[in-house]
Amino acid sequence: MGVTEIEFYWRPGCGFCAMLRRQLDGSGLPVRAVNIWEDPDAAARVRSVANGNETVPTVFVGERALVNPSMKELLALVGAEAPHLLEK
């Protein structure tokens, strides 16, 4: 089946998270938002790709991760890994 959604890892009070979340909300892309302060497994997943840090926003498209990406970087990754998500 492949990638069906973008996984968006965030935490409360993160301005960069809020900015990217607004852009994602307006994009029409399917997104599952996960608060790393409420999900220890999610925090561990973020640490696994962010040099042991809980740097957010971290976004996964399939198994590929971007730490604190711009919307442009995220759209490029979606285009490469899951272009079907860009079709509206």
Amino acid at 4: T
Q: What is the rounded average pLDDT of the residues 34-39?
A: 98
pTM beyond 0.85: the answer is yes
Amino acid at 76: A
Rounded distance between C-alpha atoms, residue 81 and residue 59, angstroms: 13
Look at the block and give the residue holding tokens 């935490």. Answer: 11
pLDDT-based confidence at 82, cuts 50/70/90?
very high
Residue 88: pLDDT above 70?
A: no
pLDDT tens digit sequence for 51-81:
999 999 999 999 999 999 999 999 999 999 9
Q: Is the dihedral of CA 75, 81, 83, 88 positive or negative?
A: negative
